Amino acid sequence: MPEDPMGNAVLLHFLCGVLAVFSASLVNADDPYRYYTWTVTYGTVKLLDVPQQVILINGQFPGPRLDVVTNDNIILNLFNKLDQPFLLTWNGIKQRKNSWQDGVLGTNCPIPPNSNYTYKFQTKDQIGSFTYFPSTLFHKAAGGYGAINIYERPRIPIPFPVPDGDFTLLIGDWYKSSHKTLQAYLDSGRTLSFPDGVLINGQTYSTFSGDQGKTYMFRISNVGMSTSLNFRIQGHSMKLVEVEGSHTVQNMYDSLDVHVGQSVAVLVTLNQAPKDYYIIASSRFNRKNLTTTAILHYSNSRTPASGPLPAAPSYGFHGSMMQARTYRWNLTASAARPNPQGSYHYGKITPTKTIVLANSAPLINGKRRYAVNRVSYINSDTPLKLADYFGIPGIFSVDSIESSPSGGAAFLSTSVMSANLHDFLEIVFQNDEITMQSWHLDGYDFWVIGYGNDQWTPAKRSLYNLDDALTRHTVQVYPKSWTAIYVSLDNQGMWNMRSAIWERQYLGQQFYLRVWTQVHSLANEYEIPPNALRCGKAIGIRS
């Protein structure tokens, strides 16, 4: 959620009132620090019948869960013991004024093998369910991912009773092939076949235990490569309470579609007869049926789970879009800060600019690539952020990517779209292909104001939800359809806009949004971190 002028005013007023009493402690009060040391290695695990190489963090797959509180400072020293350069990115962590720590190749040099880098960032004004994962090469196909749960500060009300327990479920499709094999496939110009299975927390047999009559939170994130998943629990309905940091209107659902890169949190009351029940994650729109189950175990149960599994929704894309439209912001609920989410009237703001982004799958030099508005992104050896900061020319190309689709052949470029700090953008994702898309923007969350079929036109604005659309960081776009968002550019930096479908990201369906102002001020953006790694043309340059 963006800075809220009203909330700030209220807070300031409050602070002035108590300043005399608390002045010293307020001025000196620093948000808490949390220190982590993580080591990344390969390991061999049997996941889908066959032993295979995966990426472990501190020996774990999935990696350690970060359980933190709003505004915590995270100091995380990451040691890379792989045979390849490595980075983690923090999916949905906004990195306010701090794209230096975003952990993608446009902002950071990758950590070389047998080397380390210490990330320093704050979970500023954030609350809810997020994830991290490797952003380099095709490492994500080997794991290396984990959950980030940000809890409320003491005395900040959340819009539901504190649950009796809290479960984190990382669900995602999975290949039996190694990340290097998959990458070699893509590098040779081929596309990946359909994944081999679905994992829940790196397993096909997890168990979650609770007491009859109690209510539990399930935080569900799709950490997979390409497959939209449907999530459901036999015999139980789910109350949606949070989507990527937004507190929602609390509707009940029998099943939820979770698209790649997305997170949702639901409350489930164990109100059924004492036995065990199936938890199901299954592929949503594909002819190939991938299904994995876990177990919801009642602590007083003596009866194992038994079939049949509750059926996946019979409706297709249209029904899924209808479900997506029922996700609404609870306007009166607070989020990470105590002011109501709806106090920022996004629907009354006139956008500074409209950008239409169309994805495509062109052949370039005879090889399959993915592109947005004709441009297929290629990484630079020098992070764009460092090139920008040190004034190294020739690294990226501003405005090679157009702000709306146009005819002509696709081409390769290290493309950056420029925008002004405090612009308010209307962005339309136009999907003319027949596959599901999922788009993510780093550094922000945005209002998802509309989903519709066919071609977007200005007339489609009449379909927008300008009252209680929720904010999130990753949004799906249905085949032959469009999705529209509003985003308030209140966070200066170099921000990755990418497909969350990992093959597409790897082969060019991404670019960077450079949010900039002439005024050089620490109030807008932090200085380069003293430990920033150097690579490419930034080698040897001192800050």
Ligand X SMILES: *[C@@H]1O[C@H](CO)[C@@H](O)[C@H](O)[C@H]1NC(C)=O
Contact residues for ligand X (CB under 6 A)?
77, 116-118, 159, 249-250, 289, 291, 309, 312, 330, 332-333, 531, 533
Put the strands of the sheet holding 276-283 in their side by side order: 207-210, 291-298, 276-283, 229-233, 255-258
Given the complex with ligand X, which of 39 and 118 has the nearer CB atom? 118
Write down the least CB distance from residue 330 to ligand X, Å: 4
Hey, which residues does 278 pair with through a beta bridge? 295
Asked if 185 contacts 137 with a C-beta cutoff of 8 angstroms, the reply is no
Write down the least CB distance from residue 122 to ligand X, Å: 17
- What 8-state DSSP symbol labels residue 236? B
Asked if 102 contacts 95 with a C-beta cutoff of 8 angstroms, the reply is yes
CA 65/CA 44 separation, integer angstroms: 20
Write down the least CB distance from residue 246 to ligand X, Å: 12
Write down the least CB distance from residue 314 to ligand X, Å: 9
Write down the least CB distance from residue 488 to ligand X, Å: 23
CA 133/CA 141 separation, integer angstroms: 10
Asked if 116 contacts 80 with a C-beta cutoff of 8 angstroms, the reply is yes
Give the CB-nearest residue to ligand X.
Answer: 159
Asked if 335 contacts 248 with a C-beta cutoff of 8 angstroms, the reply is no
Given the complex with ligand X, which of 278 and 495 has the nearer CB atom? 278
Given the complex with ligand X, which of 48 and 249 has the nearer CB atom? 249
Q: Tokens standing for 220? A: 């569900």
Given the complex with ligand X, which of 54 and 171 has the nearer CB atom? 171
Given the complex with ligand X, which of 79 and 478 has the nearer CB atom? 79
Residue at token pair 């007869």: 273
Write down the least CB distance from residue 294 to ligand X, Å: 13
C-alpha separations of 405 from 186, 402, 410 in Å: 25, 7, 11
Write down the least CB distance from residue 133 to ligand X, Å: 20
Given the complex with ligand X, which of 161 and 407 has the nearer CB atom? 161
Residue type, 53: Q
DSSP per residue over 295-349, as a string? EEEETT--S---SPPPPPPS--HHHHHHHHHT-BB-TTSB-SSSSBGGGS-GGGS
Write down the least CB distance from residue 153 to ligand X, Å: 16
Given the complex with ligand X, which of 234 and 373 has the nearer CB atom? 234
Given the complex with ligand X, which of 313 and 405 has the nearer CB atom? 313
DSSP per residue over 156-213, as a string? PPPSSPPPSEEEEEEEEEE-SS-HHHHHHHHHTT------SEEEETTBSS-EEEE-TT
Write down the least CB distance from residue 37 to ligand X, Å: 8
On the CB side of 148, CA atoms within 13 Å amount to: 24
Given the complex with ligand X, which of 340 and 493 has the nearer CB atom? 340
Radius of gyration of the chain (CA): 23
477 CB contacts (<8 Å, ≥6 apart)? 359, 429, 430, 431, 436, 437, 438, 439, 483
